[in-house]
A and B are shown apart, each in its own frame.
Chain A
Amino acid sequence: MKRIFRRDSRSGNTLVLVTVFSVALFGFAALSIDVARVYYEVRRMQIATDAGAYAGVWDLLTSQAAAIATAKAVAQANGIATNEFSASALRGVQVGTWNSTTKTFTPNGTPANAVRVSAKRVVPLYFGPVVGARSMAPDIHSVAIINSRLVPFGTSAVALGTNGVGSTLAASSTDPGNWGKLNFGDVLRNPNDWVEAFTYGYSGTIGPQTVVNGQTVFDVATDPGFAHLTEAWNARKAIDPIVVLPVILGTFPNGQGNVFIYQFITARLLDQTAQGRNWQGNLQILGISGDLSQAYTRFLVE
């Protein structure tokens, strides 16, 4: 009798357990569906913001307005809606400065070398409302930077002569007609600006284009003097010894004037072999091209 009584007391236990665990199973199923969908949207947004930032940063070479317009358009072409830019707390597309040391982006900083695209998408949840969560709103951003090797210091077609890849050139203050500073974006107004442009590379517009003898060239102002070259050379060499130097038609004027840049040398900065009034720095030619784009590289950093 006791055994029969015991068996009867357990009847229904399975039903209770199945009910409890089924509710839990349904709960986790709902959670996994909602979370998976949010992750999917995050991935789509990340691809779109990456594409926008990467495309936009290249247009910094034209203007900041062009960079912003391009970044937005390309991100939108990859599925970001207009209101998803404006919904973002980070305010859509921004141009600013990327600090490689601290790994931080500063909006509106100078020099402008980075574009950040951020977007926020409200993803409605199917099962979240059961627990009071109607939607999730992931905030995604991408930062792309442009790195320039173009320096505001050039050589002349005469100095380049027949030197080719692998040759070594000697830049010297005792040879002023063949070497000179260039005034990209008015960097010669302030010596610190010129040193900074040499050290970190110049990313802005370099001057109006014109045609000379059937050849498209950049019309750029120059100024005599080799002051601050020693410190700029050392600083640049410590960061990245590869630079892109403009080559001008003819020779540099004896004093202020304008020159025409017609091609560019990719070169490795070597040692400076003399200082002061007889300054001399050596460089090795790695490539010669009329294409300015060789001076720039762009990549995503966030």
Chain B
Amino acid sequence: MPLLALLVFAIIQFGFIIAAHITVQQASAIGARRAGWIGSTNDAPAVALAALAPMLDPAKGTATLGTTVISGVGTAQTMTVTYNLPMILPPSLFGGILPATMTITKTSTMK
């Protein structure tokens, strides 16, 4: 039974991690689009963080707008979103091997 319970929680945790990866990736794309396509660089980080909700808590994320030079294309806007995802499985369960949070960082580039 403990093994079964562990497996069920691991599946749930994996689902949360995958969902967080997709959400953070999408948030970075939305922020980069705001800056690169619409040209609104001032509020792009806020827009990116707002896109974390409702799946994730925007307060636990950071968004950084930057630029990159793509060879042959020119300057493009990049949005990097970092999110600290709390784990549902307690770190003590495996003797402290598992981290309490997982840091997810995603970057998107738009022009």
A81 at interface by CB-CB < 8 Å: no
Question: Please, how many angstroms separate the alpha-carbon atoms of A44 and B109 in the complex?
Answer: 12
Q: How far is the CA of A230 from the CA of B72 in the complex (A)?
A: 43
Q: Is the beta-carbon distance between A77 and B11 smaller than 8 angstroms?
A: no
| Structural contact, A22 and B4, CB atoms closer than 8 A | yes
Whether A25 lies near B71 (C-beta < 8 A) is no
Contact of B22 among A26, A39, A51, A69 (CB under 8 A): A39
**Contacts A55-B110, A78-B108, A78-B109; A70 near B18 (Cβ below 8 A):** no
- At the interface, yes or no: B40 with Cβ under 8 Å from chain A? no
From known contacts A54-B37, A54-B110, infer whether A40 and B4 are also in contact, taking CB-CB under 8 Å.
Answer: no
Chain B residue numbers with a CB within 8 Å of A55 are 73, 76, 110-111
Query: Which of B14, B26, B68, B73 is in CB contact (< 8 Å) with A43?
Result: B26
Are B29 and A74 in touch, CB under 8 angstroms?
no
Bound-complex Cα distance A51 to B37 (A): 9
Count of A residues near B, CB < 8 Å? 24
Interchain CB contact under 8 A, B108 and A70? no
Nearest CB of B to A85, in Å? 16
Query: CA A25 – CA B10 in complex, angstroms?
Result: 12
Which residues of chain B are within 8 angstroms of A73 by Cβ–Cβ distance? 70-73
Say which residue of B15, B32, B37, B73 sits within 8 Å of A70 (CB atoms): B73
B11, A29: Cβ atoms closer than 8 Å: yes
Greatest chain A CB density within 10 A among B10, B15, B26, B76 is at B76
Q: Is B109 touching A40 in the complex (CB atoms < 8 A)?
A: no
For residue B110, give the distance in angstroms from its CB to the closest CB of chain A: 5
Instruction: Tell me which residues from 8 to 25 in chain A have a Cβ below 8 Å from any Cβ of chain B.
Output: 18, 22, 25
* Selected interface stretch from A30-38, A166-174, A183-191, A233-241: A30-38
Would you call B4 and A69 a contact (CB within 8 A)?
no
B14: nearest residue on chain A (CB-CB)? A33
Shortest beta-carbon distance from B55 to chain A in Å: 13
Q: Does B88 contact A (CB under 8 A)?
A: no
A74 and B7 contacting across the interface, CB-CB below 8 Å: no
Contact A44 B25 (CB under 8 A): yes
| Bound-state Cα–Cα, A196 to B109, Å | 36
Chain A residue, CB-CB nearest to B23: A43
A47 in contact (CB, < 8 A): yes
Contact assessment for B108 and A47 in the assembled complex, using a CB-CB cutoff below 8 Å: yes
CB contacts (< 8 Å) of A32 on chain B: these are 11, 14-15
Residues of chain A within 8 A (CB-CB) of B4 are: 18, 22, 25
Of residues 63 through 89 on chain A, the ones whose CB sits less than 8 Å from some CB of chain B are 69-70, 73-74, 77-78
User: What per-residue 1/0 map shows which CB atoms of B22-46 lie under 8 Å from chain A?
Assistant: 1001100100100001000000000
Residues of A within 8 A of B7 (CB): 25-26, 29
Chain B neighbourhood of A33, CB < 8 A: 11, 14
* A51–B109 touching, CB < 8 Å: yes
Chain B residues lying within 8 Å of A54, measured Cβ to Cβ, are 37, 110-111
* A43 contact set on B, CB distance < 8 A: 22, 25-26
C-alpha spacing A73/B69, complex, angstroms: 11
CA distance A70 to B22 in the complex (A): 26
Residue numbers in A under 8 Å from B10 (CB-CB): 29
A-B contact pairs, 9 of them (CB 8 A): A32-B11, A36-B14, A47-B29, A70-B73, A73-B72, A73-B73, A74-B70, A74-B110, A77-B70
Besides A39-B22, A51-B32, 14 other CB < 8 A contacts? A25-B7, A36-B15, A36-B18, A40-B18, A47-B25, A47-B29, A47-B108, A51-B29, A51-B109, A54-B111, A55-B110, A69-B72, A73-B72, A77-B76
Which of B's residues lie within 8 Å of A, judged by CB?
4, 7-8, 10-11, 14-15, 18, 21-22, 25-26, 29, 32, 37, 68, 70-73, 76, 108-111
**Shortest 7 CB-CB distances between A and B: which pairs?**
A55-B111, A77-B109, A36-B18, A47-B29, A73-B73, A73-B70, A70-B73
